[in-house]
A = this chain, B = another copy of it.
Amino acid sequence: MATLKDVAEATNLGLATVSRALSGNAGVLPETRKKVEAAAKALGYQPNALARGLRQSSSKAVGLVIPDLENEFYTSGAAVIQEVLANAGYRLILCCSNNDPTIDALLLDSLVERRVEAIAHVPSSAIGSDVIRSRNPSLPVVEYARRSNSEHVDSIVGDEALGSEKLIEYLVSLGHRRIAMIAGPRGQSTTTARLAGFESAVRKAGLDADQCPVLHGPYDPDWSEDATRELLLQDPQITAIFASSSRTVLGAFKALSGFGLHVPSDISLVGFLNPPWYEVALAPVTTYELPLKDMGAMAADLLLKRIAENEHPHAEWAAKTIRFEGRLIVRESATAPRVGSLELAEMPRAS
Instruction: Check B329–A136 contact: CB distance below 8 A.
Output: no
Judge whether A257 is part of the interface by a CB distance below 8 angstroms. Answer: yes
Instruction: Check A96–B115 contact: CB distance below 8 A.
Output: no
Closest CB of chain B to A286's CB: distance in Å?
Answer: 9
Judge whether A276 is part of the interface by a CB distance below 8 angstroms. Answer: yes
Provide the residues of chain B in CB contact with A70, threshold 8 Å. 72, 75-76, 79
Interface residue from B44, B53, B109, B329 paired with A46 (Cβ < 8 Å): B109
Within the oligomer, what is the number of copies of this chain? 2
Instruction: Check B350–A113 contact: CB distance below 8 A.
Output: no
Range of interface residues on A (Cβ < 8 Å): 35 or more
Provide the residues of chain B in CB contact with A23, threshold 8 Å. none
Q: What are 28 A-B contacts defined by CB distance under 8 Å?
A: A46-B113, A46-B136, A48-B54, A48-B113, A48-B115, A49-B113, A49-B114, A49-B115, A50-B53, A50-B54, A50-B114, A68-B79, A70-B75, A70-B76, A70-B79, A75-B75, A86-B95, A91-B93, A91-B95, A92-B93, A94-B94, A249-B280, A250-B279, A253-B279, A280-B282, A284-B351, A329-B351, A331-B351
A257 to B279, CA, bound (A): 10
A9 to B282, CA, bound (A): 68
Known: A48-B115, A221-B276, A284-B350. 7 other contacts (CB 8 A): A44-B136, A49-B110, A51-B54, A54-B54, A69-B82, A70-B79, A275-B277
